Amino acid sequence: GENVEQHPSTLSVQEGDSAVIKCTYSDSASNYFPWYKQELGKRPQLIIDIRSNVGEKKDQRIAVTLNKTAKHFSLHITETQPEDSAVYFCAPTRYSGSARQLTFGSGTQLTVLP
């Protein structure tokens, strides 16, 4: 199965600073790379994703970069705000026909300090 590692497991930043979370995976056939955000007591929600033929994608203050050769992708949050505090999960995914293999990372607890 896929081995997925997220680093760091916890991250504290000052409001306004940037945060970067890295996800390393083992399955070279993975071809879809989403990030989910789970606020305290709430359900996980997709915040950004990238396909294997794209190197970077941005959506306002968040971005995802992909290095397929090195088998890692990263979540970048700029100008962090207190509402960015949450647990973030990566979920590298391999599609083969209609079958799908998805593995969630162990999560990164981000705390934005006011």
State in angstroms the smallest separation of the CB of 19 from other proteins.
17
Binding site for other proteins (CB under 8 A): 1, 31-32, 34, 36, 38, 40, 42-46, 49, 51-52, 87, 89, 91, 93, 95, 98, 100, 102-107, 109
Question: DSSP letters of 61-113?
Answer: TEEEEEETTTTEEEEEE-S--GGG-EEEEE--EEEETTEEEE-----EEEEEE
State in angstroms the smallest separation of the CB of 32 from other proteins.
4
Between 51 and 61, whose beta carbon lies closer to other proteins? 51
C-alpha 34: how far from chain center:
6
The residue length of the chain stands at 114
State in angstroms the smallest separation of the CB of 77 from other proteins.
18
Q: What DSSP element (H or E) covers 43? A: none
Between 42 and 69, whose beta carbon lies closer to other proteins? 42
